Structure 1
Amino acid sequence: MSTKMIKMPERELNRIHNSMVQEVVVDGEADSWIVGGHLLIKHTADSPYDWADGKGGGFVICDAPEPLPALRPLSLRSSFMRWPGMTRPHVSIEFAKQQGLSVPVPDIIFHAEHAGIYFLVTDCSVPRSAVRLLQGWHKCMAEPARQRAVERMVDIFLELCAFPVPAGAKITGVDGGGFVLAMMMPGRRQEAWDCHPDFLQKRMMDKGFDCSELVFFNAGLNTHDMLVDPNTGDVVKLYDWTRCGFVPHDYPISYMKHCNSFMVHHDEDADGEPSPESLELHWELKKRILPLLEKRGYVANDAAMELIWKEKRA
C-alpha cells in the first residue's frame, strides 16, 4: 500500500492522499485533474457537485476516462512512504466524529483504493481568516489568542486520550489495522516499517513503556495541522488523521516533550528542516503545555525516550 499526501489547487479546503496527480490540459488551461491514473476531479460552475469551492462553483469526482486525455504533471512537494496494512484515515475520522470531539474534523467526501493506492478526499472548509497555528502565532496572534490556543490544545489532547479503548486492544489503529509510530521504528526511514501490534508492543515494552493502559493518540495535533482563528485562538479544524491509534498512556506526552515533529512541521525550508520560527514555537508551546498536562496526570517517560533517541543516534 502506498500513501502520499498532496495539496490540490483548491488550496487548503481539501486534501487527497495518492501517488500521482496530473492536470488535464484543454486549450492550454487546466480545470481538472487525473489522480493516480484512475480518478477524475473536475472543477465546475454548475451544480450538482460533490463539494463547493467557496466561490459559487464546485468539484466533482468520477472514474477517469479511457483513454486518458492530454496530461501534464503538477509540481508538488510531498512525502512518500510505504505503510503496510495501515488503518485508513477515513476510518480514524469517522471514529473521532462518533466520540463528539469538540474541534471540527474533516468531512469525508470520497475514499477508494485502486491498484494498491489509497485515495481520500475530505472537506476541510474553514473561515477565510483561519490560519495554521504555526503561521498565526508569529504573524497575527496577540497574547490572549495565543493563550487560548494553548488551552485548546490541552483540551483536545485530553479529549483524545479519553476516547474509548476496546477491551483487549493492542497498539493498533482504531480498527485493529497498522499504526505508524515513527519514533518507535528502528533505524531510519529507508524501507517498509513493521506496524504489526506485537512488534510495536515489544518495542514499547523493551524501551520501558507500560502497555497495560492504552489511550488514543493523534500525531496530527501539531502546529502545522491545526487551523485556528487568529483573533480568538480557537481551533477551527484538526485535519490530519493519518497517524492515529492506541498507545501506552504515557506515550503521547512523551512524544510531545521529546519530538519536534509533535509541534512543528519538518518541511519549512529547502533542506526539509524546521525553520527557526518553528523551533522557537516548539519550545514555547512545550513550556506552556507540559506543566498543564502534568497536573492532569500525564508525565513523560523520559527514560524510555532517552533509550529511543540513543538507539536512533547510534
Structure 2
Amino acid sequence: MSNTPPTPETARFLEVNDNSWIIHHLIVTRHQSKPSQPCWPDGEGAFFSIDDAPTPTPPTRPPSHVCPISDAGNHFPASLTWKIGLAHLRIDFNNLGTSEHVTLEALAKRSLGFQIPQVYYHKHLGKSYSIVFSDLPGNPLIKAWPTANQAARTRWTQQIAEAYHELSKWRGDRICAVDGGNLQCFWLSSTTPSVPGSYNPEVLRANCEEMGLDCSELVFAHNYMMPLSFTVDEVQGLVGICRWEMAGFLPKDWIRTMTRANSFTQSWQAVKSSWSESDINDFGDKIESALKDKGFKEFWLNNCRWREEKRRRQEQEEANRLQPPTV
C-alpha cells in the first residue's frame, strides 16, 4: 500500500468480508468475543478493533447493505467521520495542531460537571490523524432538540453555558492547545487553505488583536459550539460534550464571538434536514442569551469585518500573483 497520506477525495471504504472493512489506511475488524488488543463494543455483544490495513490489500468488495459501519455525516473540508458500534472514527487529513487525544487526556485529569469521550485508538500518518472515541451517554442534542419543550431547551443551553464558564476558569498564558502546541482553530486562521504556520500562538494572537479581542485574559475553551457536540437526557439535562479537536486557550471574548458568528458549524447539513427554521432560530437565541448571562462578551461585527478584510487581502494577493511581470 502507498505511504501517501489519504485525502477526502481519495477516501476508500471497502469490505473485506462480513467482519472486516478497510477505511483508508486502516482495517476495522468485528470480533464475537473481546479480543486482546484495544477494542470497543458494538452494542450487540460483539467488539470492534482497528489496525493498519495489511499490505498488499486483500480482495475487497463494496460495503454490503448489512455493513455495521455508517457515514456519520458531520464532515468538514479536511475530515471524515464514521459511526462504528458505540464509537466514532474520525480521520483528519490536514492535522496542523495538537491532536484531540492529548486534549482529552488532559481533560480526564480534571473534575468536570459533564462527561467526555474515551479514546480507544489514535494514530498519525504524515499530516493525517485518526482517532476512535466513544459515544457519550444520553441522546444527541441534534436529535432531541426538535421535540423538546421550551423548558428543556432553556435548561440545556444554560447548562452548556455553565460548562463553558466552568472551563473558562482554567487559564493560559498564550493562545495555544492544552499542551502548549499549536491550536488548529480554522475560524481564526488568516490563510486559506491553512498552512503549518497558520496556527502558531503569535499568529493567532495577532489575528485576535486585529479583531479587537482582549488578549489579556486567555481561558480554556471547547471552541466547537454545535448541536452535534452535546448529549442530553431527561434527568441530568446536559450529559456530555464531545468534539475537542479545536479546544485550547483563547481570549475569553472569542467564546461568544465564535458562537454568535456560527452556532452550528459542522452540524449545519444535519440541522437543515431535521430542524425547522423556528428550531434553528431558537437554538441560536437561547445559546446567545445563556452565554451572555454568564458574562461572555461578543465581538461579532469585528469578526465579520476581519474576515472580510482577510478575504480581500487574499484576493489581492492572488491577483498580484497572476499579474504578468512588467517588461
TM-score by length of 2: 0.75
Aligned equivalent of 2:55: 66
For 1:165-186, what per-residue CA distance to the aligned partner results, in whole angstroms no more than 9, with x for missing partners?
A: 2xxx321111122222233233
Q: Does 2:242 match 1:254?
A: no
Aligned equivalent of 1:8: none
Q: What is the letter of the counterpart of residue 140 of structure 2? A: R
Aligned equivalent of 1:304: 302
User: 1:125: Cα distance to partner?
Assistant: 4.5
User: 1:72: Cα distance to partner?
Assistant: 4.2
Distance in 2, matches of 1:65 and 1:84, equals 24
Q: For the structure 1 residues 190 and 112, does the alpha-carbon distance in structure 2 shift closer, same or farther, using more than 3 Å as the test?
A: closer
Q: What is the letter of the counterpart of residue 122 of structure 1? A: F
Aligned equivalent of 1:135: 143
Distance in 2, matches of 1:115 and 1:152, equals 39
Aligned equivalent of 1:153: 160
Aligned equivalent of 1:239: 242
Aligned equivalent of 1:10: none
Percent same amino acid at aligned positions? 24
Aligned equivalent of 1:220: 224
Q: For the structure 1 residues 190 and 267, does the alpha-carbon distance in structure 2 shift closer, same or farther, using more than 3 Å as the test?
A: farther
Q: What is the letter of the counterpart of residue 235 of structure 1? A: L
Aligned equivalent of 1:16: none
Equivalent in 76, 86, 92 of residue 79 of structure 1: 76
User: 1:66: Cα distance to partner?
Assistant: 3.0
Aligned equivalent of 1:15: none
Q: Which deviates the most, 41-50 or 245-254? A: 41-50
Aligned equivalent of 1:199: 203
Q: Identify which of structures 1 and 2 has the higher relative contact order when contacts are C-alpha pairs closer than 8 Å and 6+ apart.
A: 1
Q: What root-mean-square deviation, in Å, do the aligned CA atoms of Structure 1 and Structure 2 show?
A: 3.0
Q: Does 2:93 match 1:104?
A: no
> Unaligned stretches of 5+ in structure 1?
6-18
User: 1:205: Cα distance to partner?
Assistant: 0.8
Aligned equivalent of 2:14: 23
**Which of the pair has more CA radius of gyration?**
2
Q: For the structure 1 residues 115 and 311, does the alpha-carbon distance in structure 2 shift closer, same or farther, using more than 3 Å as the test?
A: closer
Counting matched residue pairs gives: 283
Q: Does 2:40 match 1:51?
A: yes
TM-score by length of 1: 0.78
Distance in 1, matches of 2:166 and 2:209, equals 25
Paired residues of 1:87 and 1:177 also in contact (CA < 8 A): yes
SS of residue matched to 1:104 = coil
Q: For the structure 1 residues 64 and 84, does the alpha-carbon distance in structure 2 shift closer, same or farther, using more than 3 Å as the test?
A: closer
Q: Which deviates the most, 173-182 or 206-215? A: 173-182
Distance in 2, matches of 1:197 and 1:236, equals 32
Where does structure 1 differ by over 4 angstroms across 4 or more consecutive aligned residues? 1-5, 72-77
Q: What is the letter of the counterpart of residue 290 of structure 1? A: E
> Unaligned stretches of 5+ in structure 2?
64-69, 79-92, 313-327
Please identify which structure carries the higher helix content. Answer: 2
Q: Does 2:177 match 1:186?
A: no
For 1:14-56, what per-residue CA distance to the aligned partner results, in whole angstroms no more than 9, with x for missing partners?
A: xxxxx84533333xxx32222432x322111112361111111
Distance in 1, matches of 2:161 and 2:55, equals 50
Aligned equivalent of 2:86: none
SS of residue matched to 2:264 = helix
